[in-house]
Structure 1
Amino acid sequence: MEIVNGAARPRLAPHVRMVFNAARGEYALLSPETILAINPTGAAIVELCDAKRTVAEIEAELRRRYDQVADGDVQRFVSALVTKHGMEVDHG
């Protein structure tokens, strides 16, 4: 798994898009090869991954929105998506 640091600026890979299935009440990342279901917290992270914000800035924003955000959760989530080719990062 690629290790993503706090200075990295993540974004969805060009071939991936996030969708919400209202009938199922779930978010998913769609690519030509796969469908990956994600929870609402994952969707909140993906929405903030715009290649402008760093992982550290995304984590700080999530801490403003939610009561509990564990250290390293955003980095692990982004790293997992990079490994699955669902996200790309510009390393800072």
Structure 2
Amino acid sequence: MNDIRALKLNPMFRLQWEVAQEAWVLLYPEGMVKLNSSAAAVLSYVDGQRLTADIVQALQQDYPQAEGLADDVAAFLQEAHKNNWVIYD
């Protein structure tokens, strides 16, 4: 994933807590993607200003007990980009 441009949530998707699902979801016109807590945490930092490295750094500050986040976060963001959930700003 090219880390010289910031990532943002694709405008076709909206990240929100869904009470009925008791989970964070990505809503889009055709449906919804139910996220696990890790995916929701990563996507909460995708704001059009942060690079992948910035997102990793923020998550490491929030979850200091978690080690080796960089590879997992980068892999998730690559998959999210393939699924068109996130785009380059």
Output the TM-score relative to the length of structure 1: 0.81
Q: Percent identity?
A: 25
Could you tell me which runs of 5 or more consecutive residues in structure 2 were left unpaired when the two chains were aligned: none
The yes-or-no answer on 1:44 pairing with 2:27 is no
Cα contact 1:7–1:56 (8 A) shared by 2: no
Aligned residues: 87
1:17-32 paired onto structure 2 within 5 Å: 17-32=14-29
Distance 1:45 1:37, change over 3 A: same
Which residue of structure 2 lines up, in the alignment, with residue 68 of structure 1?
66
Q: CA RMSD in A?
A: 1.6
Q: CA deviation at 1:24?
A: 3.0
Q: What do residues 48-89 of structure 1 show as CA deviations (whole Å, max 9, x unaligned)?
A: 101111100110110011111423111111111111111102
Poorly superposed stretches of 4+, deviation over 3 Å: 5-8
Q: CA deviation at 1:28?
A: 0.7
Could you tell me which runs of 5 or more consecutive residues in structure 1 were left unpaired when the two chains were aligned: none
Counterpart residue type for residue 80 of structure 1:
E
Q: What do residues 14-70 of structure 1 show as CA deviations (whole Å, max 9, x unaligned)?
A: 110012122432111111234211112211211110111110011011001111142
Which residue of structure 1 lines up, in the alignment, with residue 83 of structure 2?
84
Output the TM-score relative to the length of structure 2: 0.84
